[in-house]
Amino acid sequence: MRPVWSGSLSLGLVTVPVRLYSAVEDHKVHFRQFQRGTEDRIRYRRVNERTGKEVDYDDIVKGYEFDSGEYVLVEPEELDEIAPGRSKSLDIESFVELDDIDPMFFDKTYWLAPAKEEFERPYALLLEAMRSSGRAGIAKFVMRGREYLSLIRSGDGVMVLNTLHFAADLRDPAEQLPDLPGKAKARGKELDMAVDLIDAMSDDWRPEEYRDTYNDRVRKLIKAKKKGKTITPAAEPGEPTKVVDLFEALSKSVENGKSTKKASSGKSAKKTSAKKTPARKDLASLSKADLEKLARERDIKGRSKMTRAGLEKTLKAS
């Protein structure tokens, strides 16, 4: 796998050369464009609008347009020159609690690995320090002509870097939505029933159980069309719930949720029984993620806000 960025990770006076790798793989079905009724491909070209001639990529520069219609042209080298340090530097500016960051800020996920074997020791030190503290580092860096705000945290044997949206990039719903929800008030019995529904549908996060079913159906459609067949259309979405039927709909949903959770719990119990619970003396060898999983199985309260050391101590006492 080729790195998408390389530079140096700095924490105080400790500097570690690192490389950034994409941690996400695209599994979407990609289509080409054709003119309807033919097998003629549609292609896009970079064309000079005045001459109509195609322009090589190396001959293209960026241009910023003012309100007057005037443009200022900027060379790629000029953009690099105004951020010489940032373009190859990833400086951790502070550490924060991971739970304090609203998921709205998260963008893309990458792995951050040492550039060479000789840098593994300081890299491993920083990785273990972040895992033990339970905190994540906030840093900024420049990649492909753009500055990114990022969060660096400990992962499963490797640092994970999440690019974050800047606060200025997030829209204010009060300004963007003309009819912001909130005028209608929740009624007591309906609210209690809605909370019961959430409790009935609550479960452990098991990402491996979720698939892109739409992508699967697209692939089935392609295979069927190749054979001259058709596939059954997806079911239409349900009708909106009427206000007068809200309580009844919630009641039935709670019962369905309990039945589904019971069946799911049976499967989970089999999986859990197949795995041996780690002995207390082995807790020190577990990652924070493993400790959190064990704490969840033992229903330890407040586990999401505990540091790794706190989780280990609490688990030993439980």
Task: In whole angstroms, give the CA distance from residue 79 to residue 70.
Answer: 20
Beta strands in 98-145 (DSSP E): 106-114, 135-143
Over 50: is that where the pLDDT of 174 sits?
yes
For residues 133 and 64, is the Cβ–Cβ distance under 8 A?
no
Q: What residue segments make up the domains of the chain, in order of their start?
A: 5-27+81-169, 188-274, 280-317
**Stretch 210-229: mean pLDDT, rounded?**
85
**Stretch 204-219: mean pLDDT, rounded?**
84
| Residue pLDDT, tens place only, 97-110 | 988 999 999 999 99
Answer CATH for 5-27+81-169 from 2.40.290.10, 2.40.70.10, 3.20.20.70, 3.30.1360.120: 2.40.290.10
| Residue pLDDT, tens place only, 30-62 | 999 999 999 999 999 999 999 999 999 999 999
pLDDT confidence band for 147 (50 / 70 / 90): confident
Share of the chain above pLDDT 90, in %: 40
User: Which range is most confident: 11-20, 82-91, 156-165?
Assistant: 156-165
User: Which range is most confident: 144-148, 162-166, 282-286?
Assistant: 162-166
Task: In whole angstroms, give the CA distance from residue 4 to residue 255.
Answer: 49
Token code pair at residue 13: 């006076």
